[in-house]
Amino acid sequence: MVGLGTPNKQLSLEFDTGSFLTWTRCQPCVSPCCYPQNDPIFDPAASTSYAKISCNSAECAQLRRSQCSSAANTCVYEVIYGDESHTNGVFSKDKLTLTPADVFDGFLFGCGQDNEGFHDGSAGLLASSTGYLSFGSPTGASNAAIKYTRLTTLSSGSTYYGLNLVGINVNGQKLSIPASVFSSPGTIIDSGTVISRLPPTAFSALRDAFQAAMTSYPSVPGDGFLDTCYDLNCNPTVTYPKIEFVFGDGVTLTLDATGIVYLLDGTMKQVCLAFVGNDDADELTIFGNTQQKNMEVLYDVAGERVGFAPGGC
């Protein structure tokens, strides 16, 4: 939770490791792009410290994608993420309150009025509300429990945290997926993408293996882009297949249930496989937010590696 505005309004924002811009949904929200969120929508008119960024300002010029609303001399931003979700609205500044001692005047952020593709109830992107993320030295898990894999640089953009993903195992068996499927155009880790994205070949192989292991549970129609779903109302205990991500330096990362299925109704009664296939083989593989929950994720930028340990929350 962070506070935005004067008086500050508490907002649940996700920490996004794959983006350069903080944003939150703002009034007025453009219908039909008003997805449900847990917190009240931020109203800039109710904040005495809020201000819009002008078109000809240095702040507007630093945006990677912007345009000018000439009638109001207002800088308009747009961000499109790797999973095709997007946000656009008014580039703005206001007071940001992290703790009573950590207050930042004139904090730059996007006041989002058209936001699509976000489904987890958060108010926008900044800091994690579910899950545990740490930069630098480990704070929770013992050093022995942390599995480190090296960070890589992608040709498509040096701002991303790249991973050398080479394969996926299901119940101890390596799926028949060539490593080149993941290396071109590459794999990134991104806490701002809710559902992980896989190349079409890799997703088909994972979905087939998952379905083969779940034949004792009744399937149900998919929900939006999630197409492998089950009704578990009559199953007091459920056994999911073991899914592991394999990296090029020999590190194998085992997902727990929260990283394997996505809960449609907030309970374990309606679930879907928590992966989506990309439309095109040339799109990035994304290791997303759902797979990072219940993990301690450590970014050792100086050491050019990222570490994973169980029990983050």
| Residues classed as catalytic | 16, 190
Whether 232 contacts 269, CB under 8 Å: yes
Helix (H) or strand (E) holding 80: strand 74-80
Per the DSSP assignment, residues forming a β-bridge with 24 are 111, 124
H-run or E-run covering 94: strand 86-99
The terminus-to-terminus CA distance of the chain in angstroms comes to: 16
* Residue 61: closest CA among 84, 31, 91: 91
**Residue 28: is the preceding peptide bond cis (ω within 30°)?**
yes
Half-sphere exposure of 236 (CA within 13 A, CB side): 0
Rounded CA gap, 109 and 50, in Å?
11
Task: Identify the bridge partners of residue 4 per DSSP, sorted by sequence position.
Answer: 9, 96
Instruction: Render 165-181 in DSSP notation, one character per residue.
Output: EEEEEETTEE-S--THH
Alpha helix stretches (DSSP H) within 125-267: 180-183, 200-213, 257-260
Q: What letter does residue 29 receive in the DSSP assignment?
A: P
230, 209, 228: which is closest to 219 by C-alpha?
Answer: 230
- Is there a contact between 93 and 77 (Cβ–Cβ < 8 Å)? no
Q: How many CB atoms lie within 10 A of CB 92?
A: 26
Name residue, tokens 């009638």.
Answer: 71
